[in-house]
A = this chain, B = another copy of it.
Amino acid sequence: MTSPADPVRIALAPVSTDLLRGAITEAGAQVADLDEARALIWDGGPADFPAQLPDSVEWVQLFSAGVEEFFAAGIFERHPNVVFTSAAGAFAKSVAEHTVALLLAGVRYLPEHLRARSWRQKEFFPHIGTLRGATVAVVGAGGIGREVISLLEPFGARIIAVNRSGTPISAPNVAETVPAQRLSEVWSRTDHVVVAAPATADTRHLVGKDELAQLKPHSWVINVARGSLIDTDALVTALEEGTIGGAGLDVTDPEPLPDGHPLWDLPNAIITPHDSNPPHLRTTAFAEHVGANIARFVGGRELIARIDPAAGY
Contact = CB atoms under 8 A, between A and B. Distances in A.
Given A93-B156, A156-B93, A121 B256 contact: yes
B114 A264 contact: no
B97 A155 contact: yes
A270 B113 contact: yes
Chain B CB within 10 A, most for which of A128, A131, A259: A128
A268 to B, nearest CB: 11
Contacts of A121: 256, 273-275
Contact of A94 (B100, B101, B132): B132
Given A97-B131, A118-B264, A278-B126, A108 B256 contact: no
B111 A100 contact: no
- How many copies of this chain sit in the oligomeric assembly? 2
Interface stretch (A21-29, A146-154, A194-202): A146-154
B100 A104 contact: yes
A258 B119 CA distance: 7
A164 B280 CA distance: 38
A281 interface: yes
Interface of A: 93-94, 97-98, 100-102, 104-105, 107-108, 110-111, 113-121, 124-126, 128, 130-132, 150-151, 153-156, 256-259, 264-265, 270-276, 278-281
27 contacts: A93-B132, A97-B104, A97-B108, A97-B132, A100-B104, A101-B104, A101-B108, A102-B108, A108-B272, A110-B270, A113-B270, A117-B259, A117-B265, A118-B264, A119-B256, A119-B257, A119-B259, A121-B273, A121-B274, A125-B280, A126-B280, A128-B275, A130-B281, A150-B154, A151-B155, A153-B154, A154-B154
